[in-house]
Structure 1
């Protein structure tokens, strides 16, 4: 009788756990052909509700296992109901300089494979990256950005004269003026808005609006410039700081909150 009751209780709990099943999560990579990626579900997820997705490309020399435990990335997705996907680059790097990169196809396949394991909200697919990973995120948005709700780029980009076949709905880019690894793309005459010139042109944006300074943590201030009068409701946001080459504390979570029309918070 006790065994029967245990089985009955287990069966009644199955619907609450949801229809998904994933044998890989966290530092255990998900195999995808001859490649792999890492995934981290948010804390307190009910097992059924479709989740926004943040696909984040790691920096040079890294892999996705770092991303899914990174305090400046995973901490913020886990507390905001966002599914974090972290593909592994071949040779711990990415092929982003030219169109037609196989890494774009791989990253798109990562999203589709994850969708078989978890319910995702396809209207909120965000692409992100840091350093070389940020340039790869730009490449993905440039080559396969039709279904990308927002590009969240950190300290890395493509040349501003790159021709893009597709576009995301929104672009948010952060870069440090003192970056000496992937140098701040300063425009002619000291134009500090040049890092997003590609997207401003692609979106047919008009004049910019200075949003002023804001801080997520007391030790770093961002100067925000935004272009909101672009064609087809596209938006470009540029955050500039005086620091170097790093992922700013709280920046990813701040953007996710704003994209969800919520009051930004830290962490």
Structure 2
């Protein structure tokens, strides 16, 4: 069952439990069996309106409590009416190297638990991650991506020969040429589109459209390539920097995905 179908079924079968949402938040993790996750509600939420969800996987050595306070992540979701959900990886990392690992199952359970605590919009589920978390977001999209609107991956990926039986509606990837942690994955003959080769094959893409440069802040210019494909859309943003979350990147993607003019912050 897809993530969207699962959440729709949950919404039909259960209502968010009064008081349960207040039991956890940015500082207090939401318990889930022997594991947990963090949430950050958007500013000014009325307590009733169904919320878009951004499920974000933290980088190596981190936990969800950092994510829900991170200016380049939570700083954008809270201004856009999006519920930020940040699972905690065991040992501060993720099991993404092989198919069928524990963390895809855990992340699906997190989304189910979130739907029991908050009114969520099953038509607007986004998945993101940074570094090792980006690779974990890829893994989740590959195995549970049906029903996910978009994958937003930052400075990380899976091997391009990974098996992806499922896929999100679209993929948005950003990578820096000077990344010295999860090094930029050039393809044959220096092909700079290689970071999304897997998804271009999954979506049966043709040639890229070069959309030119864009920037959310003065100090970082990104070049955008886009593939509008028979089975989905792929966007690749490239920049000259290293291993970091570009200022404004998550906010711009969410704005565009939700049909708004991109803004910063």
Output the TM-score relative to the length of structure 2.
0.92
Which of 254, 257, 260 aligns to 1:259? It is 257
Equivalents in 1 of 2:18, 2:53: separation in Å? 18
Task: Please state how far the C-alpha of 1:201 moved relative to its aligned partner.
Answer: 0.2
Query: Is 1:60–1:93's contact at 8 Å kept on the other side of the alignment?
Result: yes
1:7 corresponds to: none
CA deviations 1:88-130 (Å, max 9, x no partner) are 0000000101100110000011011010110011111100000
Root mean square deviation of aligned Cα: 1.0
Q: CA deviation at 1:190?
A: 1.1
Q: Which has the higher contact order (CA 8 A, sep 6+)?
A: 2
Aligned partner of 1:9 in structure 2 is none
The partner residue of 2:239 within 238, 241, 244 is 241
**TM-score of the pair, normalised by structure 1:** 0.91
Name the counterpart of 1:55: 55
Contiguous gaps of at least 5 residues in structure 1: 1-17
Structure 1 residue 19: Cα displacement: 5.3
Structure 1 residue 21 displacement after superposition: 3.8
| C-alpha separation in 2, matches of 1:216 and 1:187 | 28
Distance 1:20 1:51 in 2: 17
Q: What secondary structure sits across from 1:114 in the alignment?
A: helix
Q: Is the 8 A contact 1:20 1:119 kept in 2?
A: no
Question: Is structure 2 residue 210 aligned with structure 1 residue 219?
Answer: no
- Residue 217 of structure 1: how far off its partner (Å): 0.7
Shift of 1:206: 1.2
Using the alignment, how far apart are the partners of 2:260 and 2:173 within structure 1?
Answer: 19
Partner of 1:25: 25
1:77-92 matches, within 5 Å, as 77-92=77-92
Matched with 1:210 is 210
Match for residue 135 of structure 1? 135
Structure 2: unaligned runs, 5 residues or longer: 1-16
